[in-house]
């Protein structure tokens, strides 16, 4: 089976930790072939299916120059065995447009994971609002007075943009309220942009846990991303230390409650962020941490993902709508 990865430039991959690379390596081990492109390579022309200019690649087994391009061609997405959307955020207009092109490819018979409409319906910060029983006190607003009132009630808060990743743009404001106005103005752009505010969770010192859910089932280990030094962010991109650990009872409760719901919507792979006992984000665009968990515990997350992908493809009805 030929797997098409829609991703960031392959040349930018850090293969020692990249989860998309782990997927590719496991796919090749199983005998699948690989193709890759970026969202900018997608095209639709009246009378034709959605296509992409793709590079057919093979893995070299080397840390440097880790892939070799066998050839380049324009491929109809419906002709790939599966299309894996692994482009990193931000979820900007171009990402949004790409999901619509991928959705058209689905209508033509392509098998896309995660499902494009589900990517649109589950923005990673706001998706938690559907599950209030698992989250910390949270506010979503543009209004500075709302933020001030939330701070007055909770005293120690976190503010963050809705479109960030890797801990980008996250601020903590303590009981003294120092710089609250300036931070709010920066994030809400004078009331033009919505932001999220949450009660600070002191359990962050033990890690911001990434709980992976594949095909509705939780991976048995989470990666606790522990802030270092004076940093409040545990994100690996912000210098956090990743420590793999078995799921807690609460981690598993959240994952087993949300997993089947999200999987039924076409989200084959989800990354839940949990601090203490609280769900803080639902990551659906390009969840990571496969390799860190594998390296520290021996549990092969990529194998679990390929198992789920192959099972999902085997279960696809044979009566896909034909392309006219």
- What are 114-168's pLDDT values in tens digits? 999 999 999 999 999 999 999 999 999 999 999 999 999 999 999 999 987 777 7
Q: Mark whether 154 and 44 lie in a shared domain.
A: no
Set 233, 235, 251, 292: catalytic member: 233
Using pLDDT thresholds of 50, 70 and 90, give the confidence band for residue 239. confident
Which residue, 131, 183, 179, is CA-closest to 161? 183
**Confidence (pLDDT) at 240:** 84
pLDDT at position 169 is 86
Instruction: Read off the pLDDT band of 7 (50, 70, 90).
Output: very high
Segment 93-104 shows an average pLDDT of 97
Of 108, 225, 235, 251, which is the active-site residue?
A: 225
- Does residue 59 lie within any of the structural domains? yes
> Do 23 and 105 have their domain in common?
yes
In a domain, 78, yes or no: yes
User: In this structure, are residues 284 and 72 in contact, taking their beta carbons and an 8 Å threshold?
Assistant: no
- On whether both 114 and 35 belong to a single domain, the answer is yes
The overall average pLDDT reported for the chain is: 94
- pTM greater than 0.85 (yes/no): yes
Say if residue 17 is in the same domain as residue 98.
Answer: yes
Query: Of 210, 235, 251, 292, which is the active-site residue?
Result: 210
210 is catalytic: yes
Catalytic residue among 115, 125, 199, 209: 125
Q: What is the CATH number of the domain that holds 213?
A: 3.30.470.20
What CA–CA distance (Å, rounded) separates 199 from 172?
10
Does residue 53 sit in the same domain as residue 148?
no
| Residue 190 DSSP class | T
State the average pLDDT over residues 213-240: 87
Average pLDDT of the segment spanning 281-309: 97
Question: Does residue 318 have a pLDDT over 60?
Answer: no
Q: Is the pLDDT of residue 321 over 90?
A: no
Q: What is the pLDDT of residues 16-53, one digit of tens each?
A: 999 999 999 999 999 999 999 999 999 999 999 999 99
Band the pLDDT of 238: cuts 50, 70, 90: low
Q: Which residue shows structure tokens 């793999």? A: 244
Selected catalytic residue, list 87, 160, 199, 209: 160
Residue 237 confidence (pLDDT): 72
Mean per-residue pLDDT, 105-113: 98
- CA–CA separation, 36 and 31 (whole Å): 17
Q: What is the dihedral of CA 313, 314, 315, 317, to 10 degrees?
A: 80
Confidence band for 230, pLDDT divided at 50, 70 and 90: confident
- Give yes or no: residues 6 and 102 share one domain: yes
**Range of the structural domain that residue 161 is part of:** 137-200
Question: What pLDDT score does 317 carry?
Answer: 62
Q: Give dist(CA 222, CA 211) in Å, integer.
A: 5
Shared domain for 207 and 256, answered yes or no, is yes
Of 18, 208, 251, 281, which is the active-site residue?
281
pLDDT of residue 201 exceeding 60:
yes
Going by pLDDT thresholds of 50, 70 and 90, the confidence category of residue 235 is: confident
Domain of residue 104, CATH code: 3.40.50.20
Residue 233 catalytic? Answer: yes
CATH code at position 144: 3.30.1490.20
The pLDDT, as a whole number, for residue 323 is 39
CA distance 274 to 222: 9
Question: CA 42 to CA 236: how far, in whole Å?
Answer: 30
Q: What's the pLDDT score for residue 322? A: 40
Answer whether 57's CB lies under 8 Å from 70's CB: yes
For this structure, is 55 an active site residue? no
Whether residue 278 sits in one domain with residue 186: no
Where does the pLDDT of residue 232 fall: very low under 50, low under 70, confident under 90, or very high at 90 and above? confident
| Residue % of the chain over a pLDDT of 90 | 89
Q: Of 121, 146, 161, which one is at a domain's C-terminal end?
A: 121
Q: Active-site residue 29, yes or no?
A: no
Asked if the structure places residue 319 within a domain, the reply is no
Does residue 127 fall inside a structural domain? no
- Whether omega before 121 lies within 30 degrees of 0, making that bond cis, reads no
pLDDT of residue 163: 84
The tokens describing 317, both together, are 């009805």
CA quadruple 289, 92, 97, 280: dihedral positive or negative? positive
User: Long-range contacts made by residues 11-17, C-beta under 8 angstroms, separation at least 24?
Assistant: 13/66, 15/63, 15/66, 16/63, 16/291, 17/236, 17/288, 17/291, 17/292
Dihedrals phi, psi of 183, to nearest 5 degrees: -65, -45
Q: Is the dihedral of CA 238, 252, 89, 142 positive or negative?
A: negative
Domain count, the chain: 3
């Amino acid at each position: 089976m030929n797997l098409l990865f829609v991703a960031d430039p392959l040349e930018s991959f850090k293969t020692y930790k990249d989860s998309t690379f782990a997927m590719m390596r496991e796919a090749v081990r199983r005998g699948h072939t690989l193709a890759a492109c970026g969202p900018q390579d997608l095209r639709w022309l009246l009378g034709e299916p959605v296509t992409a200019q793709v590079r057919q690649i093979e893995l070299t087994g080397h840390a440097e120059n880790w892939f070799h391009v066998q050839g380049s061609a324009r491929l109809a997405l419906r002709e790939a065995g599966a299309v894996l959307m692994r482009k990193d955020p931000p979820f900007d207009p171009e990402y949004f447009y790409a999901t619509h092109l991928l959705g058209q490819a689905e209508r033509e018979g392509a098998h896309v994971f995660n499902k494009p409409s589900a990517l649109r319906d589950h923005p990673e910060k706001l998706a938690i609002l559907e599950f209030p029983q698992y989250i910390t006190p949270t506010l979503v607003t543009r209004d500075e007075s709302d933020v001030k009132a939330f701070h007055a009630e909770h005293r120690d808060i976190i503010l963050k943009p809705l479109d960030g990743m890797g801990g980008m743009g996250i601020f903590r404001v303590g009981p003294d309220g120092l710089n609250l106005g300036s931070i709010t103005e920066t994030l809400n752009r004078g009331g033009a942009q919505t932001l999220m505010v949450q009660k600070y969770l002191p359990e962050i010192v033990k890690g911001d846990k990434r709980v992976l859910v594949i095909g509705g089932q939780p991976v048995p280990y989470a990666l606790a991303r522990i802030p270092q030094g004076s940093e409040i962010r545990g994100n690996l991109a912000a210098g956090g230390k990743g420590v793999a650990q078995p799921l807690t009872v609460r981690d598993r409760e959240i994952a087993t409650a949300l997993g089947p719901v999200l999987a039924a919507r076409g989200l084959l792979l989800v990354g839940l962020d949990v601090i203490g006992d609280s769900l803080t984000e639902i990551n659906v665009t390009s969840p990571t941490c496969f390799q860190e968990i594998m390296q520290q515990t021996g549990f092969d997350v990529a194998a679990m993902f390929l198992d789920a992908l192959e099972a999902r493809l085997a279960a696809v009805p044979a009566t896909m709508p034909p392309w006219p």
